[in-house]
Amino acid sequence: MPDSDSSTTSSNASTPKANVKVEAWTLDVGDAGKTVDEFAEEVMHRVETAWAGGADIVLLPEYLWAALEPLLPPDTDMDDIAKVVWVDLMPRLRQRLCRKGKHAVVGTAPWSDPTNRHLYNRAIIFTDGRVLHQDKLFLTPWEHEFRAGKELYVFEMQGLRVAVVICLDIEVPEISSRLRGLNIDLLLVPSATETIYGSERVTRCASARAIELGCAVVVCPLVGKCDSSMVNINLGKIALYLPAQKSFEAYDRTEDTRVVRQGWHVLRADVPAAVIQETHRRRQETNPSQLSVNLSPDEIKIDPSAREAPRKIVRRERM
């Protein structure tokens, strides 16, 4: 996860805070600049302004950097975008956004593995003066140019144990089951969805993950329209979900916007870090995040009548 000049996660542990300020910004792909330099400057300015306003962690959407496509020559492909981001822009991003005590997930970008030229959908993570990454683990049918990532990283931001779970990955409960028992405090979910149904899947599953893991979950979608093979139409909700536990009685456990289709929108949230971490330790209340399931496939019994039910339902629907 760390790049070659990064130090280990443990040596850069952040001082815990009672409340951690998270700021999630949409990015309108049709209104982010007319040149690559303008686009990059807009992104960096948003992050720096959020930090200056008191945000500890800034979250930007999935496929943010794929929106560079209309600003590049007509024959541009994902490999070309990867070069622009990781070779041309990364030195400037490092200079501006690698800061001690500050944290940002600056969306995702195509990344080309130099050993085999495989493409990955990679989140760019700046945290406490380091550059980290997270690859998307599960891919949609139209992400055929990309390879699925193979590792999920857990790291520390501002005293919180954090994972970045990209869009479709939040819809996969097996990922949540792997994280169970690790005392995850915060999931950051950059997303890019083009339909209401995709947006609903992400947000409804994000809410479920907050309950299953006893953590906060923040969702940040891409919005707007542009002439792009990957992100031509985008919409979604910015959202924060907290666990449904008595410890959070005084908090709004669901904060979200309306469905956003264009423009720059922000959700500013205080994540109650101390309450989340205390809830991990409490045993006096029903809490799914503290349960474990060890059922093997042989221990799941399917009644023979269940196999017939789908065919009967189909016949009724044809009547």
Q: Where are the domains of the chain?
A: 13-318
pLDDT tier for residue 286 given thresholds of 50, 70 and 90: confident
What's the pLDDT score for residue 317?
Answer: 40
Q: Compute the mean pLDDT over every residue in the chain, rounded to the nearest whole number.
A: 89
C-alpha angle 306/309/311, rounded to 5°? 135
Place of tokens 């992050």: 47
| Beta-ladder partners of 267 | 24
Token pair 């496509």: residue = 69
Q: What span, in angstroms and rounded, lies between the C-alpha atoms of 136 and 105?
A: 13
User: What pLDDT is stored for residue 318 in this prediction?
Assistant: 37
Tens-digit pLDDT profile for residues 131-177: 999 999 999 998 999 999 999 999 999 999 999 999 999 999 999 99
Q: Is 153 exposed, middle or buried (0-12, 13-18, 19+ CB in 10 A)?
A: middle
Range from 105-114, 127-136, 203-212, 249-258 carrying the lowest mean pLDDT: 249-258
CA atoms in the 13 A half-sphere facing the CB of 187: 36
pTM of the model: 0.89
**Quick check: 2 pLDDT over 70?**
no
- Judge residue 90's burial from the number of C-beta atoms within 10 Å of its C-beta, 0-12 exposed, 13-18 middle, 19 or more buried: middle
Residue 310's pLDDT is: 52
Higher pLDDT, 151 or 251: 151
Query: Is 65 in contact with 190 (CB distance < 8 Å)?
Result: no
- Residue with the bigger pLDDT between 124 and 287: it is 124
Chain centre distance of CA 252: 21
Phi, psi of 34 (to 5 degrees): -100, -5
Most confident listed range (13-17, 141-145, 147-151, 276-280): 147-151
pLDDT at 293 over 90: no
**CATH architecture assignment, domain 13-318:** 4-Layer Sandwich (3.60)
Q: CA torsion, points 166, 171, 175, 181, in degrees to nearest 10? A: 110
Q: How confident is the model at residue 309 (pLDDT cuts 50, 70, 90)?
A: low
Give residue 279's pLDDT band: very low, low, confident or very high (50, 70, 90). Answer: confident
- Give the confidence band of 14 by pLDDT, cuts at 50, 70, 90: low
**pLDDT bucket at 44, cuts 50 / 70 / 90:** very high
Contact 110, 122 (CB under 8 A): yes
Confidence grade of residue 287 (pLDDT, cut at 50, 70, 90): confident
